[in-house]
Amino acid sequence: MSEHSTYVPGTAVEKWLDDRLPVVRFAKEHLMDFPTPKNLNYWWTFGAILVMCLGVQIVTGIILAMHYVPNVALAFDSVEHIRRDISGGRVIQATHAVGASMFFVALYIHMFRGLFYGSYKAPREILWILGVVIFLLTTATAFMGYILPWGQMSFWGATVISNIFSAIPLVGDSIKQLVLGGFAVGNPTLNRFFSLHYLLPFIIAAVVALHIWALHVPGNNNPIGVDVKDSRDTVPFHPYYTMKDLFGMVLFMIPFAWFVFFAPDILGHPDNYIMANSQVTPSHIVPEWYLLPFYTILRAIDFNILFIDSKLGGVIAMGGAMACLLVVPWLDTSKVRSGVFRPMFRWFYGLFVINFIALMYLGAQEAAEPYTTLAKVCTAFYFLYFLVILPVLSRIETPKPLPTSISESVLGNKAHA
C-alpha cells in the first residue's frame, strides 16, 4: 500500500524510525496524501462521524465503568449515583446514553448512503460486508448496554430478546440457558453482559480498522459511481477531507448536544427509571428505536409456515433481514453503481427508505390492527426489495448515460449552477 507515498524522512531520527517502523510514512499515506475523489458530498462525512461516535462511546463508557456496579441489587442505584454524585456524571452518563442513539443515526445514514450510491458493488464487497459486521456488532453492544441500568425495560428487553434463542429447534433452551447463565435473566446475565459490553467496542474498533483498510485498497466510491480515472479526479485527503469531515462532526455535535443537555431522557423510556422487577411486566415493551425495524420483522411472523412455528419463523425472518444486507452485492448486479443514473431504482430505493421508517414506526406500536397487517406488508416489501426488485431491476433497467469522469461531471454541475 505504498504506491502513493511521498514521504521523505527529514531528519536522521525520522529516517532511523522509518527503516524500522514506518508509522509516519503510513499515517502520511493514509491520513494525509490518500487520493480521494473530489466530488464526495456531505453524506460521505458520516464515516468520520461514526469514528467519532465510537470514540465518544468508548471514552464515556470507560468512565462510567469506573463508577458502575454490575450487580442486580446495586446496578440501578449505581447509575443514579453517577447521575447524582459524580462530578459531571449527569452529562457523561447522558452523553453515553444519547450517544448510542446518535451512533445509530449516523450508522443508518452511512448504510443508506451506501445502498443508494451502490458502494457495495465490486470491488467493494468486502468493505460492505465488514460494514454490515460492524452494524451487527454495534447492535449487540447497544443491546447489552441497555441491560446495564437494570431498569424495567432493561430486564424485559433482555428477557424478550434472549427468548429468541429458545426458538432454535432442539437445542434452543440449552443455548438460552448458556447465554443467560440461569433459567431467567439474572445476576449472571448482568455480569456477563457488562463484561461483553466492555469488550465488544474494542472488537468493533478492530473491524473498523479492517473496514478502512478495505476502503483504501480500491479507494472511495463517489456520488456518480464512476471510477477515478486520473489525478485530476482526486484531491489529497488532507487538508480537503480532514477539514470537511471535521466540519461535519461539529455540525453533528449540535443535535447531539441538544439532546444531552436539554432532553437527555426523551430518547429513552420512563419505565427504565423503575428498577427491574421479574414479577411485573411493563404494559408495553418497546426496544430502543434503532432496533425497531428488525423487531417489527420479528413480530410480523405470527403464523406458522409449514413445519416452522411462528416463533422460529420470526427469528428466521429477522436473521434473514440482516442476511439480505450481507448478500446485496450479489443481488444487485447492475453495472451502474450510483442511483443517480438509475431512473427506476431511484423510485424503489425511495420506497425502501419509507418502508424502513414505517417498519421502525410499527415496532413501537402495540400488537393490534391495523399495525399487525401493516407490519406484514412492510416486512414483505423489505424482502421483496432485496430478493426480487434489485435482481430484476438490474436486468430490465436502462441507466442514464454516465459521465466519462469525475472531472467532467464536476464541470457539468458547475455549468448547471
Partner 1 sequence: MIGAGNMNMHKLIIAAAALVAGLAMAPVAQAAEAGPHPERQAWSFGGIFGTYDTNQLQRGFQVFREVCSSCHSAHLLAFRNLMDEGGPEFSEAQVRALALEYEVNDATADGGRRPAVPADRWPSPFASDQEARDANGGALPPDFSVLAKARGVKDPFPTWIFNYFTAYQEGGPDYIHALLNGYHEEVPEDAPHSSDGTPFQLPEGKHYNDYFPGHAIGMAPPLADGVVDYAEAENGTAVPETLEQYSTDVAAFMMWVAEPHLVSRKQTGFAVLIFLVLFAGLMYGTKRKIWAGIEH
Partner 2 sequence: MHSYGETDLSTQAEHSSTNRRDFLYIATGAVGAVGAAAVVWPLINQLNPDASTLALASIQYNIAPIEEGQSVTITWRGLPVFVRHRTPKEIEEAKAVPMADLKDPETDEARTKPGHEQWLIMIANCTHLGCIPVGQSGDFDGWFCPCHGSHYDSAGRIRRGPAPKNLVVPPYEFLSDTLVQIG
- H/E stretch holding 36 reads strand 35-37
Region 18-47 residues binding partner 1, contact defined as CB under 8 A: 38-39, 41-43
Sign of the alpha-carbon dihedral angle for 264, 266, 268, 271: positive
d(CA 140, CA 296): 17
Instruction: Take residue 69 and report the three cell numbers written for it.
Output: 456496579
**262 touches partner 1 (CB under 8 A):** yes
For residue 66, state whether it binds partner 2 (rule: CB under 8 A): yes
Looking at beta carbons only, is 174 or 404 nearer to partner 1? 404
Using CB under 8 A as the binding rule, whether residue 89 contacts partner 2 is answered as: yes
CA distance 294 to 82: 32
Q: Which of residues 335-364 bind partner 1 (CB under 8 A)?
A: 338-340, 346, 349-350, 353-354, 357-358, 361-362
Q: Which residues 34-63 are close enough to bind partner 2 by CB under 8 A?
A: 59, 63
Q: How many CA atoms lie within 13 A of 49 on its CB side?
A: 27
Q: Which residues contact 67 (CB under 8 A, 6 or more apart)?
A: 78, 81, 82, 86, 89
Q: Are 66 and 88 in contact (CB under 8 A)?
A: no
Residue 410 Cβ vs partner 1, minimum distance, rounded to whole Å:
5
The verdict on 91 binding partner 2 (CB under 8 A) reads yes
Binding to partner 1, residues 108-137 (CB under 8 A): 116-117
Q: How far is the CB of 125 from partner 1 (least distance, A)?
A: 21
Residue among 15 and 229 whose Cβ is closer to partner 1: 229
Q: Which residues contact 400 (CB under 8 A, 6 or more apart)?
A: 340, 341, 342, 343
Give CA–CA dist 179/191, Å, rounded: 11
Binding pattern for the stretch 396-415 against partner 1, x by CB under 8 A and - elsewhere? -----------x-xxx-xx-
Q: Does 261 interact with partner 2 (rule: CB under 8 A)?
A: no
Nearer to partner 1, 198 or 348 (CB): 348
- The answer to whether the beta carbons of residues 118 and 337 sit under 8 Å apart is yes
Among 15, 84, 284, 346, binds partner 2 (CB under 8 A): 84
Count residues binding partner 2 (CB under 8 A): 13
Nearer to partner 1, 176 or 244 (CB): 244
Is residue 357 part of the contact set for partner 2 (CB under 8 A)? no
Q: Which DSSP string corresponds to 81-135?
A: HHHHTSTTHHHHHHHHHHHHHHHHHHHHHHHHHHHHHTTTSTT-HHHHHHHHHHH
- The grid cell for 25 is 510514512
Nearer to partner 2, 74 or 217 (CB): 74
| Contact criterion met (CB below 8 Å) for 141 and 148 | no
> Closer to partner 2 at the Cβ: 30 or 83?
83
Binding of partner 1 by 263 (CB under 8 A): yes
Rounded Cα distance between 348 and 330, Å, is 18
Binds partner 1 by CB under 8 A, chosen from 16, 202, 247, 330: 247
List the single partner that 63 binds among partner 1, partner 2, none, CB under 5 to 8 Å by kind. partner 2
Coil, helix or strand at residue 305: strand
C-alpha–C-alpha distance, residues 295 and 227, integer Å: 38
The SS3 assignment for 275 reads: strand
> In a 3-state reduction of DSSP, which class is residue 333?
coil
Asked if 271 touches partner 1 (CB under 8 A), the answer is: yes
Residues that bind partner 1 (CB under 8 A): 38-39, 41-43, 77, 80, 83-84, 90-91, 94, 116-117, 223-224, 235, 239-240, 243-244, 246-247, 250-251, 253-254, 257-266, 270-271, 273-274, 283, 338-340, 346, 349-350, 353-354, 357-358, 361-362, 366, 368-370, 374, 407, 409-411, 413-414
Residues that bind partner 2 (CB under 8 A): 59, 63, 66-67, 81, 84-89, 91-92
